[in-house]
Structure 1
Amino acid sequence: MPVKLRITLLFCLISFVILAMVCATVYYFSYTQRSHNIRTRLTNRAITLARLLGQSQVFDQQILRKIDSSTSLTLKDKTFQAYDYLNNQIYSYSDAPADTLTIDTSILDDARVKGTIFFNTANKEAVAYHYANPNTRIVVITAAYDAEGKAQLRVLRNILWFSFLTGILIACVGGYFFSDRLLQPVKKIADDINEISAHNLARRISTGTAKDEWFYLAETLNRLMNRLQDSFETQRRFVSNASHELSTPLTAISSQLEVSLQKSREAQQYRVVMESVYQDVRQLSKLTQTLLEFAQASGDPGGINLEPVRMDEILMSLPAELKKSNPEYLVNLSFDDMPAEEQKLIVFGNAELLFTAVKNIVTNACKYSDDHKATVKLKAEAENITISITDKGKGIPEAELKYIFQPFYRVNSTAHKSGFGLGLSLANRIVKLHKGNIAVSSVMEEGSEFVITVPTAKF
């Protein structure tokens, strides 16, 4: 069922319940008020008649009948009867001569006990009133058909039915147009989204000026589109740069082999070509391995094996590992603020990925420092572990700091050094997977400092 129709039906249902309750309440109180009025009038007439009958020496029955016939109670088919304490009828009057009431003795007995009782008889409403004085003890019955009151109730009922049905019709029509207007922003948002594709990611949804829920939805979707656009652009640059980096050694290998096969050569010449090709293959293999690590670090944390890891143990493996890659590299470890509790040194993560992240930054620090040295400091805080890596290199220009974590980006001053421009980007992805962050500061001709912050494991 369309949302527009569901909203319309819900609106109609709510209106139905409200109108039904209002109309029923109005009719109920009108009905009870009519009953109260007729009973009050009948009771007053019964009291008056009883007092007149109690003065039989002044008012005889003929006079009372003339009074009753001339009294206008705006009641139809009036009937008045009176009974003595032996249940003998001592007085009767009715608008129609043949119209008499058959009263059960139990009604008379109840009236003598309760004083006044109300009952219905022969399509009439009646009151039995017990009147007693030192000389008289009688029960007066007054009954009548409330034609005017019931006619007013019928008119009121018709008005309420008309109002109820008209209100429901208006509610249904109004609900339909209301739901249509309510869902117009959603339709507009959907239309705008349908026009956005991978080739048109720059387009955004119109948010309007009203700061309402639709504005919040459009803003949220626009922020999502911004993230998607950044991801697409990053992926596009990554694919382009990766293709270029992969094609360079492949082209060199192909060219060297093609030249060497054009004519016969001596064994030494073939050996030189093979050594050059071997270097290119190693470069290609290293690039491929780096790309695989980058792809792994760009994945979902749920697909990575995470376990409690001690950061100090990871850092202690750095000096020997960097010595293997370059004997000139020197790493100074500083664990000055070691906590007494072992838990403060443990993070929940993947040891190999964390080691790769720190190693990449430390390798860069050693590579771009004139003395090929890097200082690594470990500090455990209340909820985080901080690793700072400093060097005394040339520094990074401030204008380029915001780009250094992009894949394949290389600072202009270091373009002559070997590398792919993936180390910092890979380290940043790994730290992000561990819910941490990397901050960098640099002073030209003095050096740079990278600060890695990761949350400690919660036990």
Structure 2
Amino acid sequence: MPVKLRITLLFCLIVFFILAMVCATVWYFSYSQRQQNIRTRLQNRAITLARLLGQSQVFDQDLIRKIDSSTMLAMKDKTFQAYDYLNKKIYSYSDAPVDTVRIDTPILDDARVKGAIFFNIGRKEAVAYHYVTPQSRIVAITAAYDEDGKTKIRQLRNILWFSFLSGIIITFLGGYFFSDRLMRPVRKIADDINDISAHNLSGRISTGDVKDEWHYLSETLNRLLGRLQDSFETQRRFVSNASHELSTPLTAISSQLEVSLQKNREAGQYRVVMESVYQDVRHLSKLTQTLLEFAQASGDPGGLNILPVRMDEILMSLPAEIKKSNPDYLVVLSFDDMPAEEQKLIVFGNAELLFTAIKNIVSNACKYSNDHKAVIKLKAASDTISITISDQGMGIPEEELKYIFQPFYRVNNTSQQSGFGLGLSLANRIVKLHKGSISVSSTPGQGTEFVIIVPTAKF
């Protein structure tokens, strides 16, 4: 079912209940008012009749009948009766030639007990009123058909039904019209999105001039498209750069092997070729491992092995690991601001990935420093842990700082050093995977400082 039809039906359903309640309320109170009005009039006439009969020395029955015949109750088929304490009919008047109204004894007895009761006789409404004086005890009966009142009630019922049905029809038509107008921006957004493909991610959704919910939705989708476009472009650059980086050692290996096989050579010459090929294979293996780590850090954090990890223990294992692969590198740890509580040093994360992220930054700090030295400072706050890694190297130009976390990006002044340009990008993704952040400040010729902030574990 289309959304605009569902909106229309829902709107009609709400109006249906509102109109039904209003019409039912009007009908109920109008009907009750008519009933109360006729009962009051009948009771007043019964009281008058009983009083007149109680003064029989002044008013005889013929005079009372003349009064009853001239009474304008705006009702048809009037009947007036009176009974004494022995249930004997002492007075009777009817508009009809023959009075067919019969009053049962239980009604008279009930009236004597309650004072006044209301009941129906066929289509007539009636009241029995017990009038007591020292001289007499009379039960006066007045009954009549309220033609005028019931006619008005029928007219009101027809008006309410007409208003109810007309209101539902008008509501449906109006609701369908307005829901159609309401859904036009959605169709426009859908059309704009259908025009956007993987080859045309630069397209955007028209937001319009009115600052409403559709404008907010369009802007949100445009921001999403912007992120998708950035992701696709990053992926294209990554694939292109990865292909280039992988093809370079493979081409070198293929060329060297092809040249060495063109003619027979001495053992020493083959050894030189094999050593060169071995270096290219190591380079290729290291690049492949880095790409695997990069892919792991770019995946879903739900698939990682997340456990409580002590950051000080990760940092303490770094100097030996860095020294193992690069004997000239020196890593200095500074734990001057260690907290008294051990829990402030624990984060929820993957120890291997966190170690890789910090190691990449520390390795870069040592690599690009003249003294190959990096200083690591650990500081714990109430709900975060900050790790500061600083060096006194060549620094990074300010205009290049915003690009250093992009895959395969290398600063211009580092082209003479070996590397793939993936270390900082990998570190950034790992830290973000742990809901942390990395900031960097650098002064060319003086050094660079990285600050990693990760949230502590909440137990």
TM-score by length of 2: 0.95
Deviations along 1:281-307, one digit per CA (max 9) or x if unpaired, are: 221121111111111111112222222
Residue equivalent to 1:263: 263
Partner of residue 93, structure 2: 93
Determine helix, strand or coil for the equivalent of 2:379. Answer: strand
Q: Which amino acid aligns with 2:254?
A: S
Deviation at 1:80, TM superposition (A): 1.0
Report deviation, 1:447: 0.6
Aligned mates of 2:103, 2:351 — CA distance in 1: 102
1:433 is aligned to: 433
Alignment of 1:292-441 (within 5 A): 292-441=292-441
- Cα pair distance change 1:134/1:317, threshold 3 Å: closer
2:106 — aligned with what? 106
Structure 1 residue aligned with 2:164: 164
Higher mean alpha-carbon deviation, 211-220 vs 37-46, is at 211-220
Q: 1:2-401 to 2 correspondence within 5 Å?
A: 2-401=2-401
CA distance in 2, matches of 1:71, 1:355: 108
Note the C-alpha offset of 1:100: 3.5
Shift of 1:178: 2.9
Alpha-carbon distance change, 59 to 430 in structure 1, aligned in 2, over 3 angstroms: same
- Give CA-to-partner distance per residue, 1:158-178, whole Å, 9 cap, x none: 111111111222222223223
Q: Distance in 1 between matches of 2:283 and 2:149?
A: 105
Per-residue deviation, 1:58: 2.1
Q: 1:139-158 deviations in whole A, cap 9, x for unaligned?
A: 21111111111111111111
Determine helix, strand or coil for the equivalent of 1:80.
Answer: strand
1: CA distance, partners of 2:445 / 2:64: 127
Q: Which residue of 1 aligns with 2:454?
A: 454
String of CA shifts for 1:47-81, please: whole Å, max 9, x gaps: 22222222222222222212211222211111111
Instruction: Give aligned-pair identity as a percent.
Output: 81
In 2, are the aligned partners of 1:343 and 1:457 still within 8 Å (CA)? yes
* Mapped partners of 2:293, 2:76: distance in 1: 101
Once the two structures are TM-superposed, the CA of residue 318 in structure 1 deviates from its matched residue by: 2.1
Q: Give ranges in structure 2 of 5+ residues lacking alignment.
A: none
> Quick one: which amino acid aligns to residue 189 of structure 1?
I
Partner of 2:340, secondary structure, is coil
Work out the CA distance in 1 between the residues paired with 2:161 and 2:308.
Answer: 73
Which segments of 5 or more consecutive residues in structure 1 lack a partner in the other structure? none
TM-score, normalisation: structure 1: 0.95
C-alpha separation in 1, matches of 2:335 and 2:442: 23
**8 A contact 1:45–1:142 mirrored in 2:** yes
CA-atom RMSD, angstroms? 1.7
Deviates more, 1:148-157 or 1:211-220: 211-220
Contact kept? 1:79, 1:100, Cα under 8 Å: no
Q: Distance in 2 between matches of 1:251 and 1:47?
A: 122
Cα distance, 1:16 vs. partner?
1.9
Q: Structure 2 CA distance, aligned partners of 1:155 and 1:313?
A: 90
C-alpha deviation, 1:425, in angstroms: 0.8
Report how many aligned residue pairs link the two structures. Answer: 459
